[in-house]
Structure 1
Amino acid sequence: MIEEPAETAVTPHTEGPEEAARQESVGEAFKRVYEDARAYAAAEAEKQKLRLGLIMAGVRNAAIFGIAAFLMIFASLVALLVGLIHVFEPMIGPLGAALAVFAAGIIVAIVLLLLAKGCISRMKKAIAP
């Protein structure tokens, strides 16, 4: 009796060049996914920084205009009081001057408040999703 050599079982997916190439491509794919996720996170962080910058600039400008408007109203009230003091001297001249200064101060304050409101509106539009 002649013994025949036992056949070795060959599987199609053995550790060979094709398997190594397949493993590299999966590894590369995971590496790309990781790099893309990092890039996305960095871009999202940059977007949030820009958004915060817009908010801070809008709040800063609104605060400046609001404070300037408050100072103009205060200065206008002081001018009105000084003008009223002078009213009692020659009766008509200083009152007209005091009222004109007061009205001009109020108009400037209203314009500054409208500018502050515009800054807030632009900021809200800029940060809207």
Structure 2
Amino acid sequence: MTEARETSSTGPFGKNGAGTALPHDRPVKEEPLKEVLRRLVDDGRAYADAEINRQKIRAAFIGSGLRTVVILGAVALILLFGTLVTLMIGLVFALAPYLTPLGATFAVSITALLIVAILLYAAKQRLRRLFPDKDRP
């Protein structure tokens, strides 16, 4: 009768009645603290390396975009300066024979100013792509 009580109290399948031991019934494989800390430090280093590489790529992308903006702006400023010089020289020449060189001076100046406007517009568009406005849809 003693055997019947043991079987009935624990069931036909053992302690938990399911035929398999629960995870808390199994022996836990203990890992030394030193090994756990070493793994933690290695994972931390790997994460830091990945984050550094990500930031380098991001900086290179922004740097190349800003370089293009600076180049376009510099060319626009050079053309603007050249236009002002051309306008001044053209005005000097225009005063000598009275109007014919002035027409040529205005044609060159207006053409250069149109190019400046196009370059500045292109620089503005590049800046908008690099730094999108969060308020715009």
Instruction: Please tell me the TM-score bracket, short chain as reference.
Output: 0.5 to 0.7
**Structure 1 residue 74: Cα displacement:** 0.7
Q: For residue 81 of structure 1, what is the aligned residue in structure 2?
A: 88
Counterparts of 1:118 and 1:48, CA distance in 2: 24
- Aligned residue in 1 for 2:116: 109
> Identity over the aligned pairs, expressed in percent?
35
**Which secondary structure state, in structure 2, belongs to the residue aligned with residue 23 of structure 1?**
coil
- 1:44 has 2:51 as partner: yes
The residue type paired with residue 37 of structure 1 is G
- Which residue identity lines up with residue 101 of structure 2 in the other structure? P
CA distance in 2, matches of 1:37, 1:107: 55
Quick check: 1:90 aligned with 2:86? no
Residue 55 (structure 1) aligns with: 62
Farther-moved stretch of structure 1 (30-39 vs 44-53): 30-39
Query: TM-score, normalization: structure 1?
Result: 0.68
The answer to whether the aligner puts 1:66 opposite 2:66 as a matched pair is no
CA shift, 1:47, in A, is 1.1
Q: Per chain length, whose mean CA-contact separation is higher, i.e. which structure has more relative contact order (CA < 8 Å, sep 6+)?
A: 1
Q: Distance in 1 between matches of 2:118 and 2:43?
A: 49
Q: Structure 2 CA distance, aligned partners of 1:46 and 1:95?
A: 58
TM-score (structure 2 length as normaliser)? 0.64
* Aligned mates of 2:46, 2:125 — CA distance in 1: 35
Superposition deviation, residue 82 in structure 1: 1.3
RMSD: 2.4
- 2:43 & 2:121 partners in 1: Cα distance? 45
Query: What residue number does 1:23 align with?
Result: 30
The number of aligned residues is: 106
Structure 1: which 5+ residue stretches go unaligned? 1-17
> Which residue identity does 2:97 align to in structure 1?
P
C-alpha distance in 2 between matches for 1:25 and 1:91: 97
**Structure 2: gaps of 5 or more residues:** 1-26, 133-137
